[in-house]
DNA sequence: GCCGTTTTCGGCCCGACTGTTTTCAGTCG
């Protein structure tokens, strides 16, 4: 019973109660579910320690239910509710514009319980006759059912860069467009995003929105008004655009960046101070006392500024009250995991060096695959020597590293007498993901014990949306990392982002130092460093925790330590 | 159902857009 499963049950209870028209309880269950889904502690540990009621929005009643769920694997209260209702709420509420009230109405009037029966009723024209419904409503439902089947729910953050560029170019081309900001979860650097949220300022919002809605990649409109417009692009990506006056830019940015629960928490603070916070500003009565920029909004609430990456209502507001938010890592001076023609990279050594110089780095490291034939294009002895010569004649701090596979027994696939010729060795797991936590941990520890291994790449092996990362015995991993001065990597490539935020947070709390690398297989991918830094910031990492924030000599000293 | 140095009872974020209404409920961000 992990956090996700507990949260799902609480969410499902909220859905069922909502359908029964129960007041307020659904909100309570949802808030508790939210806390549990996002907290970094394991719910089982919290239960063992008897601290369930310390979780925000978990009181005695919900705590009892969680305890039962953990102890017995099921929950009688939930089963009872489920038995009473025949409606597949999860399926139906995925339909755009279909919420609890309508679902209940449809069930009461037409016994609609799932997508199939909804579709049938709509096609037979039965829905238009219901009270409060009409022809348009029925048509919209049919359309929403049609599109629900083909739209993806979330996108890997790094995969929408081109769409964002195109949207920005289109929107800012219009003279009515002022300040432009990508807000929402994208700005918070979450690994996946549900949609793209864009904030633009304008003195002529209607004119600007007309222009925005003429974007050629739009497939269909979802809503349009005088302050916002929403649509779906031909590739299935949802876009929400909000237009406000520039005097509200800060408060609108705060609102539209979220997260939702962070917003609600801030608005409660405002209430307590006798103020009101909305996207239009922070108000005392009719008077706007902040809103032009985000800093003024936080200051007006008596809070230290909170970076977007931390705005998840996971303790950051409490820290900000006490001015305890640290200065987060913002920039690195080098990148030492990347691949070239020597293994499976798409660019030459020279091209990668040129690109790293353009990134503004002071140093870099090339880490082509070496040591095993299992990974495509691993270098042999001659190639390693040839690459060394090529690297050594450069007028730039270029290190020669290697990425070496850890085999299923924990042995490196290259011998020490070959490893010793590299400036540093990166070890990583590319197979045997299904071993036990113990076995996987042992493999990682064994690699860290090797004197030439300086970095463990993508430590959990996850591939976002495709493969869950494996779990490790983190305490032992962190301890060995410290003992051997082996750095755990924050791999910045879009599908990995591994270590992820909660592991980063745990690692730095344990006293580990980390390194952010892109694992670029071409020059373009070097730019995903930004996302790696974003993930590090989500994990509260500061400069002192990230070794490649150092200039060359101190970095080298740490790498060789 | 949860929560609280102005409350242990009575609140629970605040606003835009849509479709169906002749004044607003539902859904969404
Ligand atoms: N105050 C308030 N703000 C909300 C609410 N729902 C959404 N927002 C704000 C905060 C969100 O970050 C922002 C954009 O909404 P989205 O639904 O796109 O969520 P977000 O981008 O955070 O996550 P996503 O990856 O899109 O699922 O709008 C709400 O119920 N109340
Ligand atoms: Mg969003
Ligand atoms: Mg959105
Ligand atoms: Zn590779």
| Fold agreement (A155-243, A334-560) | no
State the pLDDT at residue A192: 98
DSSP character at residue A328: P
Q: Within 180-209 of chain A, which residues have Cβ less than 7 Å from strand B?
A: 184, 195, 197
Kindly determine whether the C-beta of residue A133 is less than 7 Å away from any atom of nucleic acid strand B. yes
Of A338, A8, A329, nearest to A189 by C-alpha is A329
Residues A341-364 have a mean pLDDT of 97
Closest nt by CA–C1' to A225 = B17
Asked if pLDDT for residue A186 goes beyond 90, the answer is yes
**Alpha carbon distance A411, A27 (integer Å):** 51
Q: What is the CATH number of domain A248-321?
A: 3.30.210.10
- At A373 the pLDDT is 60
Q: Other CB atoms closer than 10 Å to residue A133's CB: what's the count?
A: 17
Output the CA A23–ligand 1 centroid distance in Å: 23
Window 261-290 of chain A: CB closer than 7 A to strand B? 263-264, 267-268, 270-272, 274, 276-280
User: Regarding predicted confidence, which is higher, A561 or A249?
Assistant: A249
pLDDT at A71: 97
Q: Count CB-CB contacts under 10 A for residue A355.
A: 21
Using a 6 Å CB cutoff, which residues line ligand 1? A 184-185, 190, 193-195, 197, 240, 255-260, 263-264
Instruction: State the distance from the centre of ligand 2 to the C-alpha of A289, rounded, in angstroms.
Output: 27
Task: Choose one of A27, A31, A182, A184 to mutate for the ligand 1 pocket test, by most ligand atoms within 8 angstroms of C-beta.
Answer: A184
Q: How many CA atoms lie within 13 A of A530 on its CB side?
A: 13
Closest nucleotide to A64: CA versus each C1': B1
Domain A3-151 carries which CATH code? Answer: 1.10.150.110
- With CA of A205 and C1' of each nucleotide, the nearest comes out as B16
pLDDT at A374 over 70: no
pLDDT the model gives residue A371: 87
When pLDDT is cut at 50, 70 and 90, the band that residue A375 belongs to is: low
Contact between residue A313 and residue A39 where contact means Cβ atoms under 8 Å apart: no
Look over chain A and give the mean of its residue pLDDT values, rounded to a whole number: 96
Q: Quickly state the pLDDT bin for A520 (edges 50, 70, 90).
A: very high
Q: State yes or no: cis peptide before A185, omega within 30 of 0.
A: no
Over residues A94-116, mean pLDDT: 96
Q: Is the ipTM of this complex over 0.90?
A: yes
Give A194-211 pLDDT, tens digit per residue: 999 999 999 999 999 999
A128 CA – B25 C1', rounded, Å: 17
| Residue A551 clears pLDDT 70, i.e. is over it | yes
A55-95 confidence digits (pLDDT tens): 999 999 999 999 999 999 999 999 999 999 999 999 999 99
pLDDT for residue A215 is more than 70: yes
Residue with more model confidence, A373 or A455? A455
Q: What is the pLDDT of residue A42?
A: 93
How far are the Cα atoms of A12, A130, A153, A556 from residue A94, in angstroms, in the given order? 14, 21, 10, 52
pLDDT band at A561 (very low <50, low <70, confident <90, very high): confident
Cβ neighbours of A207 (radius 10 Å) = 15
Instruction: Tell me which of 1.10.1370.30, 3.30.479.30, 3.30.460.10, 3.40.640.10 is the CATH number of domain A155-243.
Output: 3.30.460.10
- What is the average pLDDT across A316-334? 97
Residue A557 confidence (pLDDT) above 80: yes
- pLDDT at position A301: 97
Length of chain A: 561
* Rounded-to-integer distance, Cα A269 and Cα A250, Å: 17
Report which of A231, A226, A193 is spatially closest to residue A215, judged by C-alpha positions. Answer: A231
Indicate if the pLDDT at residue A152 is higher than 90.
no
Specify the pLDDT at position A55. 95
pTM across the whole model: 0.96
What is the predicted pLDDT for the residue at A372?
77
Q: Average pLDDT, stretch A253-280?
A: 97
The domain ranges of chain A are: 3-151, 155-243, 248-321, 334-560
Report if CB A223 to strand B is under 7 Å.
yes
| pLDDT (tens digit per residue) in A129-138 | 999 999 999 9
* Residues forming beta bridges with residue A238, ordered by sequence position: A232
| Terminal Cα distance for chain A, rounded | 41
Mean pLDDT, to the nearest integer, of A436-442? 97
pLDDT of residue A193: 98
| pLDDT over 90 at A112, yes or no | yes
- Identify which of A159, A263, A269, A313 to mutate to test ligand 1's pocket (most ligand atoms within 8 A of the CB): A263
Looking at all shown ligands, the one closest to residue A496's CA atom is: 4
For A215-241, what is the mean pLDDT?
96
Instruction: Give, as ranges, the nucleotides of chain B with any atom within 7 Å of a protein CB.
Output: 1-3, 5-7, 11-21, 25-29
| Superfamily for domain range A334-560 | Metal-dependent hydrolases (3.20.20.140)
Residue A450 predicted with pLDDT over 90: yes
Let me know the angle formed at the C-alpha of A274 by A271 and A279, rounded to the nearest 5 degrees.
55
């Amino acid at each position: 019973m992990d956090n996700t499963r507990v949260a799902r049950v609480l969410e499902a209870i909220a859905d069922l109660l909502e359908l029964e028209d129960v007041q307020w309880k659904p909100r309570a269950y949802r808030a508790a579910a939210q806390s549990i889904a996002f907290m970094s502690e394991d719910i089982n540990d919290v239960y063992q320690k008897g601290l369930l009621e310390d979780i925000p929005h978990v009181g005695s009643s919900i705590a009892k239910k969680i305890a039962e769920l953990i102890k017995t694997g099921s929950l009688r209260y939930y089963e009872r509710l489920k038995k009473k209702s025949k409606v597949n709420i999860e399926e139906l509420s995925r339909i755009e514009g279909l919420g609890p009230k309508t679902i209940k109405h449809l069930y009461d009037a037409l016994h609609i319980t799932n997508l199939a029966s909804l579709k049938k009723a709509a096609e037979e024209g039965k829905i238009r006759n219901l009270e409060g419904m009409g022809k348009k409503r029925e048509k919209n439902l049919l359309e929403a059912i049609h599109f629900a089947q083909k739209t993806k729910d979330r996108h890997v953050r790094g995969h929408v860069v081109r769409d964002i560029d195109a949207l920005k170019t289109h929107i800012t081309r219009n003279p009515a467009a002022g300040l432009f900001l990508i807000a929402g979860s994208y700005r918070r650097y979450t690994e996946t995003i549900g949609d793209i949220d864009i904030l633009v300022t304008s003195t002529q919002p209607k004119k600007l929105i007309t222009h925005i809605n003429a974007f050629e990649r739009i497939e269909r409109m979802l809503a349009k008004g005088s302050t916002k417009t929403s649509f779906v692009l031909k590739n299935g990506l949802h876009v929400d655009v909000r237009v406000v006056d520039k005097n509200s830019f800060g408060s609108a940015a705060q609102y539209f960046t979220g997260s939702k629960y962070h917003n609600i928490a801030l608005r409660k603070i405002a209430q307590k101070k006798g103020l009101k916070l909305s996207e239009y500003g922070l108000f005392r009565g009719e008077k706007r006392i902040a809103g032009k920029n985000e800093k003024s909004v936080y200051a007006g609430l008596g809070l230290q500024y909170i970076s977007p990456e931390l705005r998840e209502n996971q303790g950051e507001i409490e820290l900000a009250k006490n001015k305890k938010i640290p200065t987060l890592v913002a920039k690195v001076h080098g990148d030492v995991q990347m691949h070239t023609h020597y293994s499976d990279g798409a660019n030459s050594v020279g091209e990668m060096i040129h690109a790293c110089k353009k990134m503004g780095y002071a140093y870099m490291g090339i880490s082509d695959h070496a040591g095993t034939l299992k990974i495509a294009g691993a270098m042999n002895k001659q190639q390693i020597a040839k690459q060394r010569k090529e690297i050594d004649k450069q007028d730039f701090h270029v290190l020669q590293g290697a990425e070496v596979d850890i085999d299923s027994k924990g042995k490196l696939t290259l011998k020490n007498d070959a490893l010793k010729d590299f400036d540093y060795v990166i070890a990583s797991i590319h197979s045997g993901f299904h071993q036990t936590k113990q076995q996987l941990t042992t493999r990682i520890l064994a690699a860290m014990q090797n004197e030439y291994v300086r970095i463990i790449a993508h430590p959990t092996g996850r591939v976002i949306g495709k493969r869950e990362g494996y779990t490790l015995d983190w305490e032992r991993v962190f301890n060995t990392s410290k003992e051997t001065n082996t750095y755990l990597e924050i791999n910045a490539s879009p599908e990995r982002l591994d270590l992820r935020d909660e592991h980063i947070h745990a690692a730095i709390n344990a006293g580990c130092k980390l390194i952010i690398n892109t694992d670029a297989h071409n020059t373009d991918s070097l730019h995903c460093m930004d996302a790696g830094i974003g993930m590090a910031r989500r994990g509260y990492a500061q400069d002192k925790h990230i070794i490649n924030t150092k200039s060359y000599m101190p970095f080298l000293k740490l790498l060789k330590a």
